[in-house]
Amino acid sequence: MAEASEPTRQQEEDKSKTKRSAPSSDVDLEPNFFVVAGMFLAFTLIVGSIFYYKVDNRSPPGAFASWVNEKYPWIDTSLNRPRSSVPVFGAQAQEVTGKLSLTEEELKAYDGTDSEKPIYLGINGTIFDVSASPAFYGPGGHYNHFVGKDATLYLENG
């Protein structure tokens, strides 16, 4: 019986050897230090160049920013967009310049019913001229109930 158990042990060793010597894939999945270091260096150079460009592009632009703007104008247009306010959904409001002081009774006359008068919206004591968006603030507009009065309470309480 000792001999019967001996071949079994031999067969197990053979099986374990065949499992170890099974053909493995040739793909190396371990990260290479130089690849990772190169990727980190490239990322750092790109981000650092963008930051340096933004700092150097102040008025007047420095040598690096001038060179980039001359050689690659698309970078200038994409990173240096003009700082203009864009109206939300086409609604435009402009703060009235100068000292315009109206009482609530006087403000009621500027609710958009008279097409000859501007449309005024009062918020927290500041009067805004919203005549540029009559579709929003004029008669029949979604926000018409705010114009011609101080709408601070309506806008604060939702």
Instruction: Record the tokens describing residue 138, joined without a space.
Output: 């004029």
Q: pTM of the prediction?
A: 0.41
Which of 47, 79, 111 is where one domain is finished? 79
| Cβ(80)–Cβ(57) below 8 Å | yes
Domain containing residue 115: CATH number: 3.10.120.10
User: Do 62 and 121 fall within a single domain?
Assistant: no
72 shares a domain with 95: no
**Domain limits for position 146:** 90-157
* In the predicted structure, residue 18 carries a pLDDT above the cut 60: no
What is the tens place of the pLDDT at every residue in 96-153? 666 677 888 888 888 888 888 888 888 888 888 888 888 888 888 888 888 888 888 7
Number of domains in the chain: 2
Spatial contact of 146 and 121, defined as CB atoms under 8 Å apart = yes
Dihedral (C-alpha) 67, 70, 71, 72: value to the nearest 10 degrees? 110
With bands split at pLDDT 50, 70 and 90, how would you rate the model's confidence at 53?
A: very high
49 and 108: one domain? no
Same domain, 96 and 140: yes
Listed residue (155, 146, 149, 153) closest to 104, CA to CA: 149
| Domain end position, chosen among 14, 46, 79 | 79
Residue indicated by tokens 């001229």:
129
Q: Domain for residue 1, yes or no?
A: no
